[in-house]
Structure 1
Amino acid sequence: MLRFGLFGTGHWATVAHGAALATHPGARLAGVWGRDPAKAEALARRHDVPAFADVDALIDAVDAVAVALPPDVQAEIAVRAARAGRHLLLDKPLALTVADADAVVAAAREAGVASIVFFTRRFLPPIAGFLAATAATGGWHGAQASMLASIYQPGNPYEGSGWRRSHGGLWDVGPHVLSMLVPVLGPVRQVAAMNAPRQTTHLLLAHDGGAASTVSLTLDSPPAATFSDVVFHGEQGRAAVPQGRWDPTEALGLALDQLLEQVHTGSRDHECDVRFGRDVVAVLAAAETAMAQGRTVTL
């Protein structure tokens, strides 16, 4: 059984990471660290584990880390954990800069640790199965994707998230979209981008092999205009990513299954490992450059 340290005490750490770690048969939640000691104590008490006041003390006490923190904080902790030989269960986006993402990749590679970045939808069986079948079919010319969310409403668990307010839908829901587009259309090679009202970002992406996709993203949509859809088009017609309600604890449990399999088999090759997480960060950073400079950016 792998001992995990949980880094983070917010909503996602509670309903996804903490809940899944506490119930997974192959994992044992061994401690909690948070930037707010009172919240860390409360979450630790809920799971009857100790709260740690020091990052490295918790890293030393476990075999793996699960991180549910802002991306810039996550990247630093991930590097420290990997250098200590701890396996990594991280959240998206991996980091807020390509340099920080590269540092995580380098640390994981040099230490030989297993890693998964939790792109939630990639671990939902209906979506994972759809993407695998759609990629196998081939002949896709492109896709249209929209994730228009409205999180800055009273009572929303993310309304006070500072990094989301600063970086918007591009960095928060953009990784979800990319995690579904890339397996079918291939890596992104060129990015054009434009801003629109309510912190909306519109992307035009060129993929390997000639396919192109368009993406619209925001966290500040008018509530009546929220919308989420990813549709591929090509020689076989149209194919839409399945919709429906999903359980974050179930999805994270499947991510834990796959991380544990890496640990037990010695494999360090996963489709959502830190290398893929780094490539997603590179696309997001390219989009910011494209918007700032009014040009198409080649990766």
Structure 2
Amino acid sequence: MRIGLLGTGPWARTAHAPALSGHDGVEFAGVWGRRPEAARELADQYGVRAYDDVDELIAGVDAVAVALPPEVQADLAARAARAGRHLLLDKPLAPTVAEGRAVVEAVREAGVASVVFFTTRFQREPRAWIDEQAAAGGWFTARAQWMGAVFTTDSPFAASPWRREKGALWDVGPHALSVLLPVLGEARRVTAAARGPRDTVHLVLDHESGASSTLTLSLTAPPAAAGATVELRGTTGVTQLPTATESPVDALTHAADALRTAADTGTPHPCDAAFALRVTEILAEAENLLEEASA
């Protein structure tokens, strides 16, 4: 599978490019970026072609991996799908439900495969735990805390305009939901949403299984308080999401494998664009509740 990379920012440099270049089962076929000089620099580092025209790159590959802001990703993902290219996307899928739905429709109409990179879902220990808890069932409540320190450290992601605009809800919210939904089932509704310090938000979800979950999300936690935990309580007792030992590069390698399998078999991956759209719908519902509370 020839995969072209769209994007040249910190995530493309630290995760996508190393994963694609080091993967024995794919060919890292080139780079396109909104800044041509950055695309050339990244392409030269890995000995691949830099493209000035995104459509030329799309025309020359089997799939695209996207490491771009969600509003840019949504448009290019739909364009690549319509051209018959498979998609390895990042979260969130899109900044609005309408834009996310357009991606899903393009994927469905073209019959291409899609995988959205929810990091935790592609790391071995967390993935095995999620599968085990989903099979066990009987969960009563869940508590997820995804506390980042992006804006309280010198993180390279702190300069991201979309993160500053959308905050933790849209950046780390997808990670928490990607763990909770396969275990607790579909979220019927967001029953409550409240703001905390800075960009911190608190959500309560009602799930079709009868369980409820609470989420605390932040990108402005003190560095000493940063980290992610998910705790489940139910008929089998109490269990927590294990700490991953694999890096984002390892996880992206697994995601590329998942895309190849979905493309070869025609069987959708659980973390496909349709799942990512559902996550986007929940985020939008929560955002509306937060806006109503602030009015």
Q: TM-score, normalised by structure 2?
A: 0.97
Match of 1:221? 221
Deviation (angstroms), 1:153: 4.2
Q: How does 1:1-299 map to 2 (within 5 A)?
A: 2-153=1-152, 155-191=154-190, 192-267=192-267, 269-294=268-293
Instruction: Give the secondary structure class of the aligned counterpart of 2:150.
Output: coil
Distance 2:245 2:13 in 1: 19
Query: What residue ranges of structure 2 are gaps of 5+ in the alignment?
Result: none
Instruction: Give the secondary structure class of the aligned counterpart of 2:204.
Output: strand
Distance 2:18 2:286 in 1: 34
Distance 1:77 1:165 in 2: 22
Instruction: Give the secondary structure class of the aligned counterpart of 1:158.
Output: helix
Query: What residue ranges of structure 1 are gaps of 5+ in the alignment?
Result: none
Residue deviations 1:28-63 (CA, integer Å, cap 9, x gap)? 111101111111110000111111111111111111
Instruction: Give the secondary structure class of the aligned counterpart of 2:39.
Output: helix
Instruction: Give the secondary structure class of the aligned counterpart of 1:279.
Output: helix
Q: 1:136 to 1:95 in 2, by over 3 A?
A: same
Q: TM-score, normalised by structure 1?
A: 0.95
Deviation (angstroms), 1:225: 2.4
CA contact under 8 A between 2:153 and 2:223: conserved in structure 1?
no
Distance 2:233 2:35 in 1: 47
Distance 1:116 1:163 in 2: 22
Instruction: Give the secondary structure class of the aligned counterpart of 2:50.
Output: coil
Residue deviations 1:138-196 (CA, integer Å, cap 9, x gap)? 10012001111111245311111111111111000000000000011001111121111
Distance 2:272 2:153 in 1: 35
Instruction: Give the secondary structure class of the aligned counterpart of 2:143.
Output: strand
Aligned-residue identity in percent: 51
Deviation (angstroms), 1:224: 2.8
Distance 1:154 1:39 in 2: 24
Instruction: Number of aligned residue pairs: give it.
Output: 293
Residue deviations 1:88-144 (CA, integer Å, cap 9, x gap)? 000011001000000000000000000000001000111111011111111001200
Distance 1:200 1:110 in 2: 38
Q: Give the 4+ runs in structure 1 shifted more than 6 A.
A: none
Distance 2:290 2:203 in 1: 9
CA contact under 8 A between 2:123 and 2:244: conserved in structure 1?
no
CA contact under 8 A between 2:152 and 2:222: conserved in structure 1?
no
1:117 counterpart letter in structure 2: V
2:221 counterpart letter in structure 1: S
